Structures are given as C-alpha cells and as structure tokens.
Amino acid sequence: MRILVLNGPNLNRLGTRQPDVYGTDTLDDIHAALQNAAGDDVEIDGRQTNHEGDLVGWLHEAADTGSPVILNAGALTHTSVALHDAIAIVIETGTPVVEVHLSNPHRREAFRQVNFVASAVTGSVTGFGLGSYLAALTAIQHAARPGRR
C-alpha cells in the first residue's frame, strides 16, 4: 500500500518556522518517522507544495489510484472550497483522507476556526505535532477496514 502525505503552503519551512507553535521537526523528519512506523509493506509518499492546484491534482491522483491520504493543507484549510471539493471526490471512491495539523487551530486565532476541509474528510487529528501524523497513520489503518465510512 502507498499512502500519500500531502502538505500545503509554508510547511517546507518546518524546523525553523515558529518552533514555539509547530515544533522543531522538519517535514523530512515527519516523513521518515511515518515510514519507520508504517514498516516495509507501506510506501510513504511525502509531498509539499505552496500551490493549491498541486494539492487538487494530487487528490485526484488519490481518487484514481485508491491511495489513502494524510493531508495537512496548512492555511488553505481555512480558505479553499476547491480543496473541500477535491477531498469529496476522493472520499466518494471509498478512499480515506485524514486531515492533520501540528497545532490545534481551534485554540488559535479566530480566522483559523473557519475550516473548509473538516466537513469533507474521513476524520481529523490536530494539536500533537509529529504525533498528529503518526495518529493519522493509525487512523488510516482502521479506516481501511471494511464497514468504515
């Protein structure tokens, strides 16, 4: 199985970006920890982009290939109807999409309380740094079981 780990705007700056909020793990650290936890039978395909259309295209790829998705859409979480709709296309195929955030946006500024992703995804994990991604991996292993929606 291959799992797409899709990261949006500014997440290439992890490690040095607001470490008090996002911690000091880099995106490479996160992808390596996921691969380590997932084992040899799972390929962790970690990607990052600062462009909304790339994320939409990668979600279409997930719909076509059936690869489960761990998605940190970054700030696009709070703005993008296009991402909401692309996630819905993946979910329609029966493929899980788990939303993750390093921080817990609900504890932060009012503009982060708006979320266009949460109502489309299978489920969300927020507030645990690298642990949000690891919990999402576990969640995907459960979501992939028959009988889950």
Alpha-carbon torsion angle 145, 56, 124, 90, nearest 10 = -20
* Contact code string over 105-144 relative to ligand DQA, x by CB under 6 A: x------x--------------------------------
Q: Is 84 a catalytic residue?
A: no
Known binding residue 85? Answer is yes
At its nearest, how many Å lie between ligand DQA and the CB of residue 132? 7
CA atoms within 13 A on the CB side of 66: 3
CA-CA-CA-CA torsion sign (131, 136, 137, 141):
positive
Instruction: Of 58, 84, 79, 71, give the one whose Cα is nearest residue 7.
Output: 71
User: How far is it, in rounded angstroms, from Cα 29 to Cα 144?
Assistant: 25
| Residue 48 interacts with ligand DQA (CB under 6 A): yes or no | no
Instruction: Candidates 49, 103, 115, 122: give the one binding ligand DQA (CB under 6 A).
Output: 103
Q: Which one of 34-42, 49-57, 67-75, 86-94 is the stretch in contact with ligand DQA (CB under 6 A)?
A: 67-75
69-72 and 2-7 beta bridge pairing = parallel
Q: Is 133 a catalytic residue?
A: no
Known binding residue 119? Answer is no
> Contact at 8 Å (CB) between 26 and 33?
no
Instruction: Candidates 3, 31, 83, 101: give the one binding ligand DQA (CB under 6 A).
Output: 101
Residues belonging to the binding site are 72, 78, 85, 102-103, 112
Active site residues: 22, 101
